[in-house]
Amino acid sequence: MKFEHMIYEEAGQTARLTLNRPKSFNALSMKLSEELVAAIEMVRQSTALKFVVIQGAGGNFSVGDDIREMHLWGDANGVMRRVRYYQNMANQLEELDKITIAAVDGYAVGGGLEITMACDFVIATERSRWGMPEVDVGITPGWGGTTRLARLIGRRRAKEINLLGAIHPARTAVEWNLWNRVVPDGQLDPEVDQLLEVLGSKNQQGLRQLKYIINRGVESDLYTAQGFEALSGALIAAVNGVWEIEDADKGTGVAAFSTKNELWQKRRSLSTNFWVDQ
């Protein structure tokens, strides 16, 4: 696919998505958003890619939705459809079976900040700034600014960020558990590369499972989350080689269905009419 407002690059196991509208501080125009959706889908379909880095061109990450285009969204139903489109984009990003890194330099506000909230890691430069200024435009966030934000930093601070609309320094985001690390200006790329090296050394199946159970578990009650942990423990043991269980089918049930052999006939003859009211 040819991208006009985004740079898409693959190097080894890593895809880099660079938001490339520097003159508008990488505001998420409708066109750029469509390209970001397409890029996320390309990454999702790949089994060769393991990592994704999202960054901005021209010294800024992104200032969020392009307010100048909002009149093109249409009526209230059109706005709702557009918001749901962006929500799906963030959900797809969060659900990738790849490890995602937001490399933040400069401003990450509004929708730009919402992108970082859907990523697994966020590394930012000292000069980076963040916030949710939608309140002063007379609108409300649509795809993470209230929901993911409250889950990450708590209800009270999420209200502070959204109701006041202040722009905060990068270190506050780390102190509030919104971002992972702050690095000196000019050291963002080396820090991202070091993180990629560490992640690349891991059992990739283990990383995929850890991401999945953490994302699911945080939205579940304790016992449900523990269920994910237990199943993940069994799966990682299986893929690490100890997969045989004495009283498991080991694939014979599927083979029996295909051939309709004696095993299939026995099971179905016992089950088909069992406790079926006549």
Looking at the annotation, which residues are catalytic?
A: 114, 134
Rounded distance, CA 171 to CA 174, Å?
5
Amino acid code (one letter) for 20 = N
Give 184's contacts (C-beta < 8 A, 6+ positions apart): 125, 126
Tell me phi and psi for residue 228, to 5 degrees.
-60, -40
Beta strands of 59-148 (E only): which ranges?
A: 99-104, 107-109, 121-125, 129-131
Rounded to whole angstroms, how far apart are CA atoms 73 and 82? 7
* Alpha carbon distance 146, 173 (integer Å): 15
Q: How far is CA 175 from CA 72, 74, 244, in A?
A: 38, 39, 46
